[in-house]
Chains A and B, each alone.
Chain A
Amino acid sequence: MPRRQTTSSVLSPNLTPLLDMVLQLITFFMMLVHFGSRLEGANRTIRLPLAPASLPGSELALDRMSVGIDAQGRLLDADQRPLDENAAALWWDVEAKARRRGLETLKHTAAGDDSLPTLVILRADRDASYGAVRRALAQAQDRGFAHFSLVVLRSRQP
């Protein structure tokens, strides 16, 4: 009588190739991860200007604030609300005072001058006028902001 071959009732598939694949995918995504690569304050209504000659951006300062300027030249605050010129001036005032209060609380001593260390990240629409951008920068400058960063595109977005 031939010996009956016993078969295991529990199926155990070979998971090792699957694990290999998953670990390779994890490695791929880890290599491509860009935490915070898109600068904050992104707004679909703002179409950034294309400046192919621009260099890759350096590290941004920790103390920063983001503002926008739409195609009509209106300033957009952090909540993306459009402000007219007077409201914009008032808004810069409030922001500058809040930051000065914060610096006093932290007993921050400016290095030689009285300008604010805050970096203003400006996302202006490509169709806005240079005059609108310049006026916004001048308003901020008048309140003590001195460091600005204009967000541009190095190539067309897909």
Chain B
Amino acid sequence: MTRPTAPDPLKVDQTRARARRGRLQNEQEVMFPVTPMLDMAFQLLAFFILTFKAPTAETHLDLDLPATPAALPAAAKGQARAKPPRAADSDLENDLLVRAQADDLGELKTLRLGEAVLPDLETLGKRLTQYVGLLENKPLRVRLVADDTLRYESAAQIIAVCQTAGVTTIRLNQPGAVPDFRGPSLPGLNVP
């Protein structure tokens, strides 16, 4: 059995140098092709720039308006089975009444919650929030009775305040449609 001889230091150095040269050569050869990726990235960038829309302040107020009894469709002739009736606008007595009067220019002149005159929309929002709190899980419905000459902006602001306060249903009426106010009887809340 022959004993292994120690490696020649000169040969080892030559081998290492060769390996290093080879590795350097390989590193130079491996080039990641950035150009196609850059092309793609520019195309994506162009797409997003072209389809970019500035954020808008638009929002929407949802209204669920139940059908008036006159609007319920009659059963068609020859139809064996009548269609189910639409949800009619009933139980009006439990609605809270918000009245808005307009001045000659159509601006909001007087705002009332029931019979109470309110100074501004903020107060209306606070009162409605109180009502919602007292009703707990029961839905609060509001009937908005406004002059036809009132500017739509004022009406939309009233609707927005109602919605923010947690009113579940808002009905729109013209003056004269609701002759007498009979709000819900809520214990613990005195509307002056």
A: residues with CB less than 8 A from B are 15-16, 18-19, 22-23, 25-26, 29-30, 32-35, 37-39, 48-58, 60, 69, 110, 112-115, 121, 124-134, 137-138, 141-144, 146-157
> Which residues of chain B (121-161) have a CB below 8 Å from chain A?
121, 125, 146-157, 159-161
| Chain B, interface SS category | mixed
Flag if A110 contacts B56 (CB, 8 Å): no
Give the contact stretch, choosing among B6-14, B30-38, B180-188.
Answer: B30-38
- List chain A residues, Cβ under 8 A from B84: 110, 112-114
The number of chain B residues with a CB under 8 A from chain A is 61
12 pairs across A/B with beta carbons < 8 Å? Answer: A19-B34, A19-B38, A22-B42, A23-B41, A29-B45, A39-B60, A51-B61, A51-B157, A53-B164, A57-B60, A130-B100, A150-B60
- List chain B residues, Cβ under 8 A from A152: 58-61, 156, 160
- List chain A residues, Cβ under 8 A from B66: 146
Distance A18 CA – B173 CA, assembled complex (angstroms): 62
- List chain B residues, Cβ under 8 A from A124: 152, 156
B52 CB contact (under 8 Å) in A19, A33, A52, A115: A33
Flag if A148 contacts B65 (CB, 8 Å): yes
B: residues with CB less than 8 A from A are 34-35, 37-38, 41-42, 44-45, 48-49, 51-53, 55-68, 70-73, 83-87, 100, 102, 106, 121, 125, 146-157, 159-161, 163-164, 172-174
Q: In the complex, how many angstroms separate the beta carbon of A33 from the nearest chain B beta carbon?
A: 6
Given contacts A115-B86, A134-B174, A142-B68, whether A129 and B148 have CB atoms under 8 Å apart is yes
B60 CB contact (under 8 Å) in A16, A60, A110, A133: A60
Distance A128 CA – B55 CA, assembled complex (angstroms): 26
Flag if A38 contacts B44 (CB, 8 Å): no
Q: In the complex, how many angstroms separate the beta carbon of A15 from the nearest chain B beta carbon?
A: 4
- List chain B residues, Cβ under 8 A from A146: 64-67, 86-87
Flag if A131 contacts B149 (CB, 8 Å): yes
Q: In the complex, how many angstroms separate the beta carbon of A123 from the nearest chain B beta carbon?
A: 9
B58 CB contact (under 8 Å) in A143, A147, A151: A151
